[in-house]
Amino acid sequence: MANSWRGDRLPDIVRSMASRPRHEALRGLITELLREGFGAAFSELEHERYLVDNSGRIDVAWGATVIELKSDLRREERDVVARMPDYLADASRGSAPGRTTVGLATDGATLLAYTLDRGRLTSIGRYDVDVDHPERLLTWLEPLLSPVPEVMPTPIAVALAFGRYSLAFGRAHSQLQRLWSEVGDHPEVRLKRNLWDGLLRQVYGDDVGSDALFLQHTYLTILVKAIAARVLDLEIGDPAEMLSGRLLANEGIVGAVEADFFDWPLLATSGDDLVRSLAAETIRFRLRDVKVDVLKSLYESLIDPDERHDLGEYYTPDWLAARVVTAAIPRPLEQRVLDPSCGSGTFLFHALRRLVEAGRQAGMPPTEIVETCADRVFGIDVHPVAVALARVTWLLALGDLVQDRPPTLSVPVYMGDSMQWNLRPLGASAEVLVDVPPNDPPLRIPAGLASDQHLFERALDELNRGLDTLTEPEAIRDAIARAGATTDDAAMLGRTFAQLKQLYLDGRNHIWTFVLRNLLRPVWLSHPDHRVDVLIGNPPWIVYRHLSADMKDRLREALRSYNLWVGGSLATQQDMCALFWARGADRYLRDCGTLAIVLPYATLNAPVFAGMRDGSMERVRVAITGGWGLERVWPIFGAQSGSSTTSTCVLFGERDRAGPPPAEFDRWVGVLPRRDASEAEAAEVLTHVRAAWPRPRTLLAASPYRTRFRNGASLFPRRFVLVEYAAAGRLQSRRDAPRLRGRVGSLDKRPWTGVQPPEGPVERIFVRRIALGESVAPYRVLDLVTGVVPMESGAMLTSASADTRGYRGLAAWLRDAETKWNEHSNKGSDGAPRMTLTQSLNHLQKLVAQAARSPIRVLYTKAGTRLSACWLEDDDVIIDHKAYWSAANSLEEAAYVAAVLNTSIVLDRVKDLQPVGQRDPRDFDNLVWTLPIPEFDADEALHVDLATAALHAAAIAARVELPDSAHFTAKRRAIRQALVDDGVAETIERLVDALLPP
């Protein structure tokens, strides 16, 4: 394909396709795309080909591909689904044996791909053309239309070839579903799925496993194991050899690929075919030319954007990992490095690249460089798929040096629990507990034995030999004792072998060597002789309130053991990342070793992290030696899905010193062209300055208003509470019970986006107006919304209590909502909802607190780039949690408080204390009351002047014309501009400047 056509003509073709051109124009564009982009000869293309039975005709056919042209797939997708099976069946009759026939339907802007799976039409991919990146269309189509290998493995190319909307994933997913229905209940397969599920609960602190996610992880693991083989140019003949790691072991590489939870398809009748077809897809990439961690992009591209946000599945950008590695590892040939939560291996990749470059500059022989890599750069992760990715990433980082490896190369990346939740004290020693799902007693391994790698491997060999011959436990005990284990350790392993033997007899055996070898690696790495010089990475950011009950207990006790637990109102803000900082240093870092960790921005100044910043933790001391603030760099995490994931920082520390952080840190600033920007692109746009370390936030209130204001009610799920009036039909709606329908909005979140909102008549006394955060503007209340509020006389009602009181409309509404809540809300370990719908609506009593009627209330926004405040003279309105409120003793007091809060002076003084979103400070919450704002005093002239000016501002705000169609942020801007034009804004700023001390 000529590069000139790609550069000159392809962008025009994609632009024309995006406009959904007329039928014949689209045919011409598709024909040119096939001929110039994929080498189709004119004679090979068939147009308007009739089906054998003359029941229809195929618009375009090329070999085993049929293409259906449409005017607008948004309207015509049903027609495609109805006709495509006939087209594919007809085309398959003339297709070469063994070749899959694929159908494409397109209106130009969108391409849909299908195949027939045992006579059933299966969707295997979707692509929406991107006029800004025309070549991505070819990349998406290449697995379908082009046998040409040697594609550059960029993150975008790999994600398009294998990601969620790729043709490869579409084909494999339907096959995996069929295989799962065949062998999913096999005892060994069920065991592997349960073990995988248990590890995910450790990763995320909650139950997130599902069959769909397990199949997705199976697909990804097969793919990366094939990539590992391709790195070495190995032919993949036997799928079992590839999945088990024997293919690489025969080449002297161990630990890169192992038999794990995801080789179960081989038990199904056509599982071999699936593995071979996926392996064949990888041959097109020049894998030795990898410059970054491409596998993390593949993993992220497979997960639904909303699910990715829920799971926190965001890996570190390469440019950031490379900079952290450069700063933290000044002597790469000497320093041993560990990433205890290595994910896909981004930090490992750049640490290895830095080591390789240093070795070459030092003139080291290639084989010695590879040996040094294996001795210096380690990774651990409890996520089984992350480990599979990281091991292959470790190999990819070697580049062409992989051909100069020593006779035996062990990849030092382990599937293990670096937090060592499974380590239990046992007298003067300890034991490691390994869960056996679903309800068997755990396997027990002596920690002392696990810390001796050579002895532990010999013990595993004895266990395996014993299972092969069904030896008696006493014989295994004696053999392990002869190998060098203590009497107690050998006795414990003898008992463990008895359990393994029973699992073997039950058909639940083949995974245990893999599990034991990996889960016990952290114990070996934490031995004083094996600790590292640098601890690096980006640990999980999981807030306490999002953990399961069991993980909450574990985290609380672990943080207490380091004197990092802060209870009270801060308990829900505790974060798993603080434990990684403390325990990582305690168990894996040598004296005077270095930490370089990517963390939430809040670690710089939030009170919940005060103990971490101080450094004098129980059992270990870590002084913060430097920091990078990245709150003004965008995008870093989550931008692909529009997430507002908290901004980040990097903290550097040194073990065995304590003390406060430095007076200054480096603040980085810049807008990146995209989240996965290259190092060169980041260098072009990012700058940094030395700035004062962010001022610590405090919980101490300097204003008496702190105790008077409270957050509004959590009216969630929105579609169960916020409503619109529904059509009533011929009988019309009753005045005392209007017919309502739950309001559906673009900001609704999963899983509620797929839940039908309630609909029906509800008694008018429960239909209330609601003020959202967006209802609050400077000195003016914007649009209120309507909602169903199940509260009477300060008491919450359930469907049962509403029915008892005779409110049949409300009872029916709540019954529907409660049923859906019980089905879709977060569950505890017992499978029951963690709280009822009523408890959720009235969380922390925030709804019943509004039952007391207050003629005048002050409102201000919970979050935003500008704080807005107003007052509300309507005691029937309910305040949502996106606003804070307080009753005012008089109109003058309400005006006074609103005047103070609306000023830029208050904003500037709390800005440094705010948590930071993707680009700007976000939450205000109670931070405004850390300022010494005095309570209103009618005898103070300054207070009265402020109230008078605010009342004038309210009159100005009320006269501003605001189009209904305008966004609430535009309405706020219009009001602020009117206040500036009037001059009252400047007057209020001057008065507040006099009110608050400098």
Shared domain check, 973 and 873: yes
Structure tokens at 590: 């040598």
Shared domain check, 253 and 198: yes
At residue 230, the pLDDT reads 83
The answer to whether position 802 is within a domain reads: yes
Q: How many domains does the chain have?
A: 5
User: Mean pLDDT over residues 425-442, rounded?
Assistant: 70
Label residue 510 by pLDDT band (50, 70, 90): low
Shared domain check, 851 and 942: yes
**Cα distance between residue 225 and residue 297, in whole Å:** 16
Shared domain check, 693 and 607: yes
> Per-residue pLDDT for 959 more than 90?
yes
The answer to whether position 155 is within a domain reads: no
At residue 194, the pLDDT reads 85
User: Mean pLDDT over residues 982-998, rounded?
Assistant: 91
Shared domain check, 586 and 493: no
The answer to whether position 644 is within a domain reads: yes
User: Mean pLDDT over residues 545-568, rounded?
Assistant: 82
At residue 573, the pLDDT reads 78
Termini Cα distance of the chain: 68
The answer to whether position 42 is within a domain reads: yes
% of the chain with per-residue pLDDT over 70? 91
Shared domain check, 211 and 278: yes
Shared domain check, 100 and 85: yes
User: Mean pLDDT over residues 201-220, rounded?
Assistant: 78
Higher pLDDT: 49 or 837? It is 837
Please say which residue of 658, 678, 699 terminates a domain.
699
CB 667 within 8 A of CB 689: yes
At residue 641, the pLDDT reads 31
Q: What residues pair up with 737 in beta bridges, in sequence order?
A: 734
The answer to whether position 159 is within a domain reads: no
- Which residue range(s) make up the domain with 771? 706-995
Helix (H) or strand (E) holding 520: none
Query: Between the CA of residue 52 and those of 49, 89, 101, 599, 910, what are the distances in Å?
Result: 9, 10, 16, 63, 74
CB 467 within 8 A of CB 500: yes
Give the pLDDT confidence of 765-808 residue by residue, as tens digits. Answer: 999 999 999 999 999 999 999 999 999 999 999 999 999 999 99
Give the pLDDT confidence of 88-147 residue by residue, as tens digits. Answer: 888 877 655 545 788 999 999 999 989 887 778 888 888 899 998 888 888 888 777 754
3-state secondary structure of 545: helix
> Per-residue pLDDT for 377 more than 80?
yes
> Per-residue pLDDT for 432 more than 70?
yes
Which range has the worst mean pLDDT, 173-187, 222-236, 347-361, 386-400? 222-236
At residue 308, the pLDDT reads 45
> Per-residue pLDDT for 148 more than 70?
no
> Per-residue pLDDT for 750 more than 70?
yes
Q: Indicate which CATH number applies to the domain containing 86.
A: 3.90.1570
User: Mean pLDDT over residues 378-395, rounded?
Assistant: 89
Q: Nearest-CA neighbor of 413 among 287, 257, 526?
A: 257
At residue 668, the pLDDT reads 95
Shared domain check, 453 and 400: no
Shared domain check, 222 and 78: no
DSSP code of residue 420: -
At residue 598, the pLDDT reads 95
The answer to whether position 683 is within a domain reads: yes
Q: Nearest-CA neighbor of 564 among 593, 584, 589?
A: 584
Cis amide prior to 635 (ω within 30 degrees)? yes
**E strands present in 821-943:** 857-861, 869-872, 878-879, 883-887
Which range has the worst mean pLDDT, 196-200, 316-320, 762-766? 196-200
The answer to whether position 531 is within a domain reads: no
Query: Between the CA of residue 515 and those of 192, 384, 414, 850, what are the distances in Å?
Result: 10, 10, 10, 54
**Cα distance between residue 29 and residue 37, in whole Å:** 11
The answer to whether position 780 is within a domain reads: yes
Shared domain check, 577 and 466: no
Label residue 309 by pLDDT band (50, 70, 90): very low
Shared domain check, 369 and 236: yes
At residue 204, the pLDDT reads 63
> Per-residue pLDDT for 55 more than 90?
no
Give the pLDDT confidence of 701-727 residue by residue, as tens digits. Answer: 578 998 899 999 999 999 999 999 987
DSSP code of residue 844: G
Give the pLDDT confidence of 240-269 residue by residue, as tens digits. Answer: 999 988 899 888 898 888 888 899 999 998
Higher pLDDT: 237 or 340? It is 340
Please say which residue of 415, 444, 466 terminates a domain.
415
Label residue 642 by pLDDT band (50, 70, 90): very low
Q: What residues pair up with 125 in beta bridges, in sequence order?
A: 113
Please say which residue of 415, 440, 459 terminates a domain.
415
User: Mean pLDDT over residues 848-865, rounded?
Assistant: 92
CB 380 within 8 A of CB 418: yes
Q: φ and ψ at 435, to 5 degrees? A: -65, 145
Give me the count of residues in the chain. Answer: 998
At residue 150, the pLDDT reads 53
780-781 and 776-777 as β-strands: parallel, antiparallel, unpaired?
Answer: antiparallel
Shared domain check, 653 and 712: no
Q: Which residues of 415-426 are buried (b: 16+ CB within 10 A; e: fewer)?
A: bbbbbbebbeee
